[in-house]
Amino acid sequence: MGFLDGLFGKQEAPEKAGLPFSIKTSLRPVRLNARRENCIELLVSVQNTSSAPVLVSIQAELPRALGFENVALAKIKEIRVGQLEPGKEKTVSFSLCASHQTAPGTYSVLVTVSQHYRDYSHILNYAKKSVEVRAV
């Protein structure tokens, strides 16, 4: 049915059955410069596809060669989105930085979107997505 999907458009579905949200990621600009201090933005969009409000947090985990600042000390960062109403979409931004020691290659960033119960210490459901970042 790939031909018909091209004509009529393909509807985006949740990552897995039972998840109340869908996840989209994008990079701006597309790649990092290797062996130089520079940063790109990782944009993560979460849309609530259920009929009830959802408490959401987004976590990014970086490989050893990248960091959230030029010093590249922190490797895990969590952003608490808050209550996401039905049908609403929220976009958050992570700054991914290379340093003088970042070699050319492809690096994998692990993005985890969690659905919480009551407060942020109780996780009800989660989805993981890997994003490839190129350093040239």
pTM of the model: 0.85
Assigned fold of 14-135: Immunoglobulin-like (2.60.40)
- Residue 4: pLDDT above 60? no
SS3 annotation, the chain: CHHHHHHHCCCCCCCCCCCCEEEEEEEECCEECCCCCEEEEEEEEEEECCCCCEEEEEEEECCCCEECCCCCCCCEEEEEEEEECCCCEEEEEEEEEECCCCCCEEEEEEEEEEEECCCCCCEEEEEEEEEEEEEC
pLDDT at residue 16, as a whole number: 56
pLDDT digits (tens, 9 = 90+) for 30-54: 999 999 999 999 999 999 999 999 9
pLDDT at residue 18, as a whole number: 76
